[in-house]
Amino acid sequence: MRRRDASYERLEFLGDSALAVIVSEELMRRHPGADEGDLSWMRQGVVDRDSCAAAAAAAGLPEAFAAAAPSGRGEDAADLAALPSVRAALAEAVIGAAWLDLGVEATRAGVVEAFAPALDAALPGSRDPKTALQEEAARRRMGVAYELVDAQGPAERRVFTTRVRLDGRPMGEGSGRSKQASELAAAARALSALAEEDAC
């Protein structure tokens, strides 16, 4: 591994930890009555890969990454930066660099601004569809399994489709720009299907 690659990974490591601390503090400030369980679930939703990738895209990090690529490698870098996992890593690396170069307060202000949509959506008692489905399936003593059934388009515009099964029975399909997003959409469909069955 080249030293430059290693340095980026070290910044990503630091940024991941800094992000968790900043988001935890902000959620505690916003929701003084929330218990540890709710705070943990809310934090998980704010710092997940899709939220980090969205923050990176809003800040123009993928474009900056491609522009900084060596001569003749810009197109490859642009394709790489289109991947949600890479965008999330970029966000965490920049947070790590800011923590070292700008200090805690400046980094905190930047993170709170960049992750404002995810922070605003994090509410006590809320669960993402996958978590809600897992809890409902456990209550019904049913197994949950996700399977990727399709992936279409170039890397920068790829759309994934996932099917979720409960005890082997197909209960919903969903699509999204990442595997995680497609699983969330499939889980939401499955929850709707269960509600419709219960209503019959």
3-state secondary structure 44-97: HHHCCHHHHHHHHHHCCHHHHHHHCCCCCCHHHHHHHHCCHHHHHHHHHHHHHH
pLDDT at 97: 96
Q: Do 12 and 61 reside in the same domain of the chain?
A: yes
Q: Do 166 and 193 reside in the same domain of the chain?
A: yes
Q: How far is CA 93 from CA 43, 134, 141, in A?
A: 19, 32, 41
Q: How confident is the model at residue 1 (pLDDT cuts 50, 70, 90)?
A: very low
Question: Rounded to the nearest 5 degrees, what angle is found at the Cα of 152, between the Cα atoms of 86 and 48?
Answer: 35
pLDDT at 5: 55
Within its chain, how far is the Cα of 107 from the centroid? Answer: 20
Quote the domain boundaries for residue 60: 3-121
Residue 62 predicted with pLDDT over 50? yes
Q: How confident is the model at residue 6 (pLDDT cuts 50, 70, 90)?
A: low
Q: Which helix (H) or strand (E) holds 40?
A: helix 36-46
Q: What residues have CB less than 8 Å from 141, skipping those under 6 apart?
A: none
Q: Do 77 and 155 reside in the same domain of the chain?
A: no
115-144 residue pLDDT tens: 998 899 888 877 788 888 998 999 999 999
Residue 92 annotated as catalytic: yes
Structure tokens at 15: 């940024």
Q: Do 94 and 112 reside in the same domain of the chain?
A: yes
Q: Do 104 and 136 reside in the same domain of the chain?
A: no
Residue 16 annotated as catalytic: yes
Section 60-67 average pLDDT: 90
Among residues 72, 89, 121, the one where a domain terminates is 121
Among residues 88, 121, 154, the one where a domain terminates is 121
| Catalytic member of 12, 38, 50, 92 | 92
Q: Do 72 and 143 reside in the same domain of the chain?
A: no
| Catalytic member of 12, 16, 26, 38 | 16
pLDDT at 2: 46
Among residues 67, 88, 121, the one where a domain terminates is 121
